[in-house]
Amino acid sequence: MNEIELKEVVGGAGWGFWAIIGGAVSFILGMIDGIANPVKCGK
């Protein structure tokens, strides 16, 4: 590869990293909401 081609290479971990972070944040917020506001079964 020459220098121009090397500058055009983009890493593929950027999107996956933010997807994992977003999923973890959503999970933690949902867990906190579930602890703070438990929903009782209607039976």
pLDDT for residue 11: 65
CB burial of 18-27 (b: ≥16 within 10 Å; e: otherwise) equals eeeeeeeeee
> Over the stretch 11-41, which tens digit does the pLDDT of each residue have?
666 677 888 999 999 999 999 999 998 887 7
Cα 21 to Cα 27: distance, rounded to the nearest angstrom? 10
| Greater pLDDT, 12 or 42 | 42
